[in-house]
């Protein structure tokens, strides 16, 4: 079959079931099968595809037709300009890039900063920091063994193994006697109410443990992290967390008992997306 015709056929199927990115998704699946970049695909559109590649194409297309996210089909996602392997973890979101940006700016003047990334998932936050902050050391932790394997693989792929360490466990549980310059986390924060509004591609495919806090307002993990963090922070350290846009006041109410300085910042879509806490209460 001719590649151009195959792409039109696949795009139409994806469009009919309501996938907005139908054209690009069909192309990405084909690129994955052929190990082609975008340009190679454009230059070879008039070619015919052989039977085994065609079978593989339909196998992956069926997964997308069942609303599986393209990042799980290709095991790839770009984040902060870096390529991440994605398997058994949350898919890195562009919304999270503002958290990384904040951390990198904050660390610019620190000498050999030590950073902890709690609930690291793919490692996208901690590894981006390790990549862009020259003399940093980053310890990444997750409760999910498989996610941690993915994060380790990403560290290898990005040549960051020497600057990073990986610990398995719940929140601060795997850390002992460590004082960091910056603690960062994007913990699960989807509340019981919001859970019901999620689209199939998220609800059916992304790890629930990484998404849901299983409480009414999504603050369960923030409360735990805020209460424990000071033990692992140097006096001038900061705690940076990604938050949901409706959680600002709830988090402020918890944080003010533990920190004197509370500051929120917005993402590119102008939604409140991050909180920074410092000046531990004496």
Rule CB under 6 A: say whether 121 interacts with ligand GLN: yes
Q: Which stretch binds ligand GLN (CB under 6 A): 80-88, 121-129, 164-172, 264-272?
A: 121-129
What is the greatest pairwise CA distance in the chain?
Answer: 71
Residue spans of beta strands (DSSP E) within the chain = 76-79, 82-85, 114-118, 137-142, 164-168, 180-185, 233-242, 259-266, 272-280
Rule CB under 6 A: say whether 148 interacts with ligand GLN: no
Please select the residue that binds ligand GLN; options are 7, 90, 107, 182, rule is CB under 6 A. Answer: 90
**Three-state SS sequence of 99-144:** HHHHHHHHHCCCCCCEEEEECCCCCHHHHHHHHHCCCCEEEEEECC
In 3D space, the residue among 15, 74, 2, 89 whose CA is nearest the CA of residue 45 turns out to be: 2
Q: Compare residues 113 and 188 and give the one whose CB is closer to ligand GLN.
A: 188
Q: Compare residues 7 and 182 and give the one whose CB is closer to ligand GLN.
A: 182
In 3D space, the residue among 107, 217, 203 whose CA is nearest the CA of residue 163 turns out to be: 107
Residue 7 Cα distances to 34, 44, 201, angstroms: 13, 12, 22
Please select the residue that binds ligand GLN; options are 92, 113, 218, 244, rule is CB under 6 A. Answer: 92
Q: Which 125-144 positions form the footprint of ligand GLN (CB under 6 A)?
A: 125
- Is the Cβ–Cβ distance between 49 and 1 less than 8 Å? yes
Which letter does DSSP use for residue 6 in this model? Answer: H
Rule CB under 6 A: say whether 124 interacts with ligand GLN: yes
Please select the residue that binds ligand GLN; options are 98, 119, 238, 254, rule is CB under 6 A. Answer: 119
Phi, psi values for residue 257, rounded to 5°: -80, -15
How many residues sit in the footprint of ligand GLN (CB under 6 A)?
Answer: 13
Rule CB under 6 A: say whether 188 interacts with ligand GLN: yes
Rule CB under 6 A: say whether 154 interacts with ligand GLN: no
Rule CB under 6 A: say whether 120 interacts with ligand GLN: yes
Rule CB under 6 A: say whether 98 interacts with ligand GLN: no
- Is the Cβ–Cβ distance between 122 and 86 less than 8 Å? yes
Q: How far is the CB of 266 from ligand GLN (least distance, A)?
A: 17
Q: Which stretch binds ligand GLN (CB under 6 A): 66-74, 88-96, 152-160, 168-176?
A: 88-96
Q: Compare residues 116 and 238 and give the one whose CB is closer to ligand GLN.
A: 116
- By CB under 6 A, name the binding residues for ligand GLN: 90, 92, 96, 119-122, 124-125, 186-188, 210
């Amino acid at each position: 079959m001719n590649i151009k015709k195959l792409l039109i056929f696949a795009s139409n199927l994806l469009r009919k079931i309501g996938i907005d990115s139908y054209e690009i998704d069909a192309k990405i699946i084909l690129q994955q099968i052929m190990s082609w970049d975008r340009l190679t695909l454009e230059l070879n559109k008039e070619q015919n595809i052989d039977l085994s590649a065609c079978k593989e194409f339909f196998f992956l297309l069926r997964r997308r037709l069942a609303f599986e996210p393209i990042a799980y089909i290709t095991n790839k996602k770009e984040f902060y300009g870096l390529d991440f392997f994605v398997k058994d973890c949350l898919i890195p979101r562009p919304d999270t890039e503002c958290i990384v940006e904040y951390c990198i700016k904050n660390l610019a003047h620190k000498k050999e900063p030590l950073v902890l990334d709690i609930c690291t998932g793919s490692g996208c936050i901690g590894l981006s920091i390790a990549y862009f902050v020259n003399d940093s050391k980053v310890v990444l932790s997750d409760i999910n063994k498989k996610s941690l394997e993915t994060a380790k693989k990403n560290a290898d792929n990005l040549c960051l193994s020497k600057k990073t360490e990986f610990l398995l466990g719940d929140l601060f549980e795997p850390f002992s006697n460590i004082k960091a310059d910056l603690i960062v986390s994007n913990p699960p924060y989807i509340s019981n109410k919001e859970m019901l509004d999620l689209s199939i591609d998220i609800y059916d495919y992304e790890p629930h443990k990484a998404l849901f806090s299983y409480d009414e307002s999504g603050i369960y993990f923030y409360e735990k992290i805020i209460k424990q963090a000071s033990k692992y922070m140097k006096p001038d350290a900061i705690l940076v967390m990604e938050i949901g846009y409706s959680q600002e006041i709830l988090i402020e109410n918890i944080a003010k008992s533990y920190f004197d300085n509370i500051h929120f910042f917005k993402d590119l879509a102008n939604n409140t997306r991050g909180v920074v806490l410092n000046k531990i209460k004496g």
